[in-house]
Amino acid sequence: MAIYEININSKSYKVDVEPSMPLLWVIRDFVGLTGTKFGCGIAQCGACTVHLDGTPIRSCSFPVSAVGAKKITTIEGVSANVDHAIQKAWIELQVPQCGYCQSGQIMSAVALLKAKPKPTDADIDIAMQGNLCRCGTYQRIRSAIHRAAELI
């Protein structure tokens, strides 16, 4: 066990956990933020996507010991009032079905728009293919990312 001080959504948390514990379980079970989801545990589905200094990572396969002083953003840190352009577009186009993968989808989409404010379909394909959706909301996600690009 070791004590880590990690910065999540601009707040500092102290946790005493195994160094090998994936960031996902630290966020969910120790910090208590449950918006970030467990789906596969091997970085295949993207449900656990968070930002590490703005870059999307799969927190299920990222040990807490590797976080260091870098800043983590989870779905809860995207906006205070569900009003990020991506979230507005998600609501306008009614993207989620079951919704379980959507935190990860949104984290990937937010990072994409930051890097490419007017993404092409090819950009979207590349940015979003690491996020699985079993309900099949892909076509709405594509439309919503284009819509968010207009809203920004």
Q: Which residues bind another protein (CB under 8 A)?
A: 1, 17-18, 21-22, 25, 29-30, 32-42, 44-45, 47, 74-76, 78-79, 82, 87, 90-91, 94-103, 106, 124-126, 128-129, 131-142
CA distance 54 to 44: 20
Please, which residue, 69 or 122, has the CB nearer to another protein? 122
Decide whether 7 or 143 has the Cβ nearer to another protein.
Answer: 143
* Six token digits for residue 80: 């205070």
Find the shortest distance in angstroms from Cβ 104 to another protein: 9
Q: Which of residues 22 and 56 has its CB atom nearest to another protein in the complex? A: 22
Other Cβ atoms within 10 Å of 117 Cβ, number: 11
Q: C-beta of 98: minimal distance to another protein in Å?
A: 3
Question: How far apart are CB 14 and another protein at their closest, in Å?
Answer: 16
> Where are the extended beta strands (E) located within the chain?
2-8, 11-17, 49-52, 55-58, 71-73
* Closer of 52 and 135 to another protein (Cβ): 135
Calculate the CA dihedral of residues 37, 40, 42, 43 and round it to 10 degrees.
-50
DSSP 63: B
For the CB of residue 69, give the shortest distance to another protein in the complex, in Å. 23
Q: Give the residue from 53, 61, 63 showing the smallest Cα distance to 17.
A: 63
